Amino acid sequence: MDAILARYHHHLFSEKRYSPRTVSSYEHDLNDFITWLEQQAGAAEVPSPLTIQTWQVRQWISHLHRKGLSGKSLQRKLSSIRRFYRFLLRENLIENNPVVDVQSPKHARKLPDTLDADTLERLLNIESDDILAVRDRALMELLYSSGLRLAELVGLDLHDVDQRQQQVRVLGKGNKERYIPVGRTALAAVAKWVQQRAMLAAHGEPALFVSKRGTRLHPRSVQFRLNHWRLQQGLEQHVHPHKLRHSFASHVLESSGDLRAVQEMLGHADISTTQIYTHLDFQHLATVYDKAHPRAKKK
């Protein structure tokens, strides 16, 4: 079994080219399942994962559900186990995938939090010429302008922003490359930062955004700086990088109605992930309706 798990690790890391964090998450879920099998066996012989039946997977999911795991967490764990058994099928180590017909309990999908245009204007209206302020405005403008994930933002190198083509090259999940348009305001903010970047950047550092130490900016530092500017600009709402991504998606969809284009820009593999923003857009329309329609107004 150790040899099989080692091959599976190589499959995830080298063939699928998943990030270390993603590989660790898949393997953690798989180890949880194997540990549970060992606990269920007690004094009896521990069943091999190669001989597991569907009822045992369902029993494991029921056990986790009783422990209070959310539907979203259960779906993630099932996804991890399915991936492992697909690998075993590919390697001809099993004949049937025992996880195929296992479903997790439904979970209520929480609508993402967004910032309205006026709040974003307040957040991004940074007038200071301090080098960190210039850097922070550039990265926030880019987050909102192009809907980048935090990992995508800090992973950018200098050459990834094309001022002439008005686009940014991004490596998303699974090292999938995509090109996203960048607005004029964000391009100007990035250009201003690039002019001053050499004052901070270490020699030979390729990263677009660097810290005071001159090295690539850490994701936690971006989160810290966004909260700094939230307080500095007097905003009551909590601000984090993904909220700027949510705001980008919601505002573009609200204006264009083009779900496929938003899916492509966000780098979503499945359009069902993008469709949550249509619910958000409908929620906005419903609020406008309640305020505007004579028959909807409260007495």
Catalytic residues: 149, 173, 242, 245, 268, 277
Closest CA to 152 of 245, 227, 258, 277: 245
CA distances in angstroms from 289 to 117, 252, 281, 294, listed in the order given: 19, 20, 12, 9
In the chain, what is the greatest distance between 2 CA atoms, to the nearest angstrom? 71
Ramachandran area for residue 102 (φ above 0: left; ψ -120 to 50: alpha; else beta): beta
Provide the β-strand partners of residue 169: 179
Report the 10 Å Cβ neighbour count for 228: 14
Consecutive H or E run containing 120: helix 117-124
Contact 67, 73 (CB under 8 A): no
Backbone angles phi, psi at 167, to 5 degrees: -150, 165
Please state, in angstroms and as integers, the Cα–Cα distance from residue 215 to each residue in 2, 8, 210, 222, 276, following that order: 38, 34, 5, 13, 36
